[in-house]
C-alpha cells in the first residue's frame, strides 16, 4: 500500500530513496523558524488543521473551493483542510482580541493543504512559517516583519547574494490606477493583470490591460520609475538602520494576487531567479474585520514561508547540513558479566543529557565498535574489571583516539565537559 499522491513521508537521514523527505532537515528548519520568531518577540499559536469550509469561502469567495482539500464529514458538515493560516488566525484573534496587548506578534508553523489537479511532483501539502503583526498601522510594523523574514533566511546561512526581498505597495498601484482614471469596478482585474506581468505573453498582457483601460507602456514606465511611496521610504529607512538595506529592493512588478492586501506587499526570491517565491506577504488591514463579521477591526500584516522552495534553495546552495543520530557516547559491552553495570552507566549518561547508544543484546566486540563508528559516535565507553576486581571505565575519544581511564560514576561528568 502506498501513501496518497501529493503527500510526503519524512525519514531519518541518510535517506533511503530520493522519493522521500528528510525528517531531520524539516526539524532543523522548524527550529530555525521558531528560534528567530521568538528572538523577535513573536509568540506561537496553532489552530485545527480542519476548519468549517465557510471560513475560507468568506475570505476568498466560492472560487477558492476548486483548490481546497474539502469534504463533507460524518456530521454532514462542509469541512476543509486549511489551505492557509490567516483565516484561522483571524478567527482566533477575533475571539480573544481584548486579552492581548497590541501590537500582537504571533507565529505558527502549520501544515497546509490544497487539492489541485495532480501534476507531476506537485505536492498537496506543505509546511509554512507564518508570522503576523496585528494592531499597528505604522510602517514600522512592516519593517519589523520584513526584518524577521530577512533574519530568518540569514539564520539558515543565506546572504544578500542568495536572496532579495522585492518590496512593492498596493497603495502605489492604487494611486497610479486612480490618477490615470481607472474604473474602480475594474481595479481587481487590473491588479490581477499586474500580478501576471512576469508570466503572461506580451499579447496577453496588452489585451488584459487594454480591457481595463491601460496600455502596457504606461504600466511599464511606472514600474521602471519605481518611485517609492512615503510608507515604502519609511520601511527602507528602518531596514537600513538595521543594516538590512542590501536585502530589499523596490519592485512594482510585485503586487500579490490575493484581493485582500491593502498596503505594502513583498516577496522573497532567490537572486538567480531560478525558483518560485521563497516567501510572500503584506498588509491586510481590512481582513480581520471581514473575517470576524465586523466584530473586531485590527490593522494587520503577515508573511508565509513554505518549506518546499526553501529546502530546494538550501540544497542548491549547499546549506543543508547532513544529519545523523549525533551519538555522544557508545557504551561497548565486551564483558557480559558487566551488562548490568553498563546499563547503569547508559542511564547515567542519558540522565546527564548525553545521546547514548549501546547494543541491546550480546554482540562481538568488533561488531559493537563498527556500529559505534557507523553511528559517528563521539566517544566509546567500556567497562572492565581491574586487577582487584573493581570496575573501571575506559573512555575513548573517537576523533583524537585518546583514551582515558576513570571510575564509572565519573564518566558522565567527563564527557559533558568534553
Query: Total binding residues for its own copies by CB under 8 A?
Result: 97
Q: Which of 222, 300, 298, 230 is nearest to 255 (CA)?
A: 222
Nearest distance from C-beta of residue 409 to its own copies, angstroms: 13
Q: Is 364 in the site for its own copies (CB under 8 A)?
A: no
Nearest distance from C-beta of residue 265 to its own copies, angstroms: 19
Q: Is 72 in the site for its own copies (CB under 8 A)?
A: yes
Query: What is the rounded CA–CA span in Å between residue 79 and residue 70?
Result: 6
Among 99, 179, 181, 366, binds its own copies (CB under 8 A): 99
Which 122-181 residues touch its own copies, going by CB under 8 A? 125, 136, 138, 140-141, 144, 147, 151
Among 128, 130, 356, 368, binds its own copies (CB under 8 A): 356
The CA–CA distances, whole Å, from 49 to 79, 107, 110, 113, 305 equal 10, 15, 8, 9, 17
Nearest distance from C-beta of residue 17 to its own copies, angstroms: 6
Among 76, 223, 285, 293, binds its own copies (CB under 8 A): 293
Nearest distance from C-beta of residue 166 to its own copies, angstroms: 22
Nearest distance from C-beta of residue 352 to its own copies, angstroms: 9
Among 61, 184, 230, 237, binds its own copies (CB under 8 A): 237
Q: Where are the alpha helices (DSSP H) in 196-296?
A: 202-211, 216-225, 230-241, 287-291
User: Is the Cβ of residue 249 or residue 340 nearer to its own copies in the bound state?
Assistant: 340
Nearest distance from C-beta of residue 54 to its own copies, angstroms: 6
Query: What is the rounded CA–CA span in Å between residue 339 and residue 345?
Result: 10
Nearest distance from C-beta of residue 377 to its own copies, angstroms: 10
Q: Containing H/E element for 148? A: helix 139-155
User: Is the Cβ of residue 191 or residue 330 nearer to its own copies in the bound state?
Assistant: 330
Q: How many residues does the chain have?
A: 418
Query: What is the rounded CA–CA span in Å between residue 88 and residue 307?
Result: 20
Query: What is the rounded CA–CA span in Å between residue 385 and residue 337?
Result: 10
Binding mask 17-46 for its own copies (x = CB under 8 A): x--x--xx-xx------x-x-xxxx-xxxx
User: Is the Cβ of residue 136 or residue 270 nearer to its own copies in the bound state?
Assistant: 136
Which 294-323 residues touch its own copies, going by CB under 8 A? none
Q: Which of 357, 284, 296 is nearest to 137 (CA)?
A: 284
Measure CA 179 to chain center. Answer: 39
Which 379-408 residues touch its own copies, going by CB under 8 A? none
Q: Roughly how many angstroms between the first and final C-alpha of the chain, as a whole number?
A: 47
Among 61, 257, 353, 365, binds its own copies (CB under 8 A): 353
Interacting stretch for its own copies, rule CB under 8 A, among 3-11, 164-172, 246-254, 399-407?
3-11
- 371 contacts 330 by C-beta, under 8 angstroms: yes
Q: How many CA atoms lie within 13 A of 94 on its CB side?
A: 19
User: Is the Cβ of residue 40 or residue 275 nearer to its own copies in the bound state?
Assistant: 40
Query: What is the rounded CA–CA span in Å between residue 340 and residue 349?
Result: 14
Which cell is 150 given?
A: 530577512
Which 266-285 residues touch its own copies, going by CB under 8 A? none
Q: Is 210 in the site for its own copies (CB under 8 A)?
A: no
Amino acid at each position: 500500500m502506498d501513501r496518497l499522491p501529493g503527500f510526503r513521508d519524512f525519514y531519518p537521514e541518510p535517506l533511503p530513496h530520493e522519493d522521500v523527505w528528510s525528517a531531520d532537515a524539516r526539524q532543523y528548519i522548524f527550529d530555525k523558524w521558531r528560534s528567530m520568531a521568538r528572538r523577535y518577540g513573536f509568540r506561537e499559536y496553532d489552530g485545527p488543521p480542519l476548519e468549517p469550509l465557510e471560513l475560507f469561502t468568506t475570505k476568498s469567495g466560492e472560487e477558492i473551493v476548486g483548490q481546497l482539500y474539502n469534504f463533507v464529514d460524518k456530521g454532514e458538515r462542509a469541512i476543509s483542510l486549511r489551505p492557509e493560516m490567516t483565516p484561522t488566525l483571524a478567527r482566533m484573534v477575533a475571539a480573544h482580541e481584548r486579552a492581548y496587548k497590541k501590537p500582537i506578534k504571533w507565529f505558527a508553523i502549520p501544515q497546509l493543504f490544497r487539492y489541485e489537479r495532480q501534476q507531476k511532483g506537485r505536492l498537496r501539502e506543505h509546511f509554512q512559517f507564518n508570522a503576523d503583526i496585528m494592531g499597528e498601522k505604522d510602517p514600522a510594523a512592516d519593517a519589523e516583519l520584513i526584518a524577521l523574514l530577512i533574519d530568518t533566511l540569514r539564520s539558515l546561512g543565506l546572504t544578500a547574494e542568495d536572496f532579495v526581498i522585492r518590496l512593492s505597495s498596493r497603495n502605489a498601484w492604487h494611486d497610479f490606477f486612480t490618477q490615470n482614471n481607472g474604473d474602480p469596478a475594474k481595479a481587481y482585474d487590473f491588479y490581477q493583470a499586474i500580478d501576471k506581468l512576469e508570466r503572461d505573453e506580451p499579447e496577453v498582457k496588452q489585451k488584459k490591460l487594454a480591457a481595463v483601460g491601460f496600455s502596457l507602456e504606461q504600466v511599464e514606465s511606472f514600474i521602471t520609475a519605481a518611485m517609492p511611496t512615503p510608507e515604502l521610504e519609511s520601511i527602507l529607512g528602518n531596514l537600513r538602520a538595521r543594516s538590512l538595506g542590501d536585502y530589499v529592493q523596490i519592485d512594482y512588478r510585485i503586487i500579490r494576487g490575493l484581493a485582500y492586501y491593502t498596503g505594502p506587499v513583498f516577496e522573497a526570491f532567490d537572486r538567480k531567479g531560478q525558483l518560485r517565491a521563497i516567501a510572500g506577504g503584506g498588509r491586510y488591514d481590512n481582513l480581520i474585520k471581514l473575517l470576524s463579521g465586523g466584530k473586531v477591526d485590527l490593522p494587520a500584516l503577515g508573511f508565509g514561508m513554505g518549506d518546499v522552495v526553501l529546502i530546494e534553495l538550501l540544497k542548491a546552495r549547499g546549506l543543508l547540513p547532513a544529519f545523523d543520530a549525533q551519538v555522544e557516547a557508545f557504551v561497548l559491552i565486551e564483558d557480559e558479566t558487566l551488562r548490568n553495570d553498563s546499563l547503569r552507566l547508559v542511564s547515567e549518561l542519558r540522565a546527564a543529557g548525553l545521546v547514548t547508544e549501546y547494543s541491546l543484546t550480546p554482540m562481538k566486540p568488533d561488531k559493537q565498535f563498527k556500529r559505534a563508528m557507523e553511528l559517528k559516535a563521539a566517544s566509546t565507553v567500556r567497562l572492565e574489571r581491574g586487577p582487584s576486581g573493581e570496575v573501571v571505565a575506559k573512555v575513548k575519544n573517537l576523533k583524537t583516539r585518546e583514551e582515558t581511564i576513570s571510575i564509572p560514576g565519573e564518566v558522565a561528568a567527563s564527557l559533558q565537559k568534553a
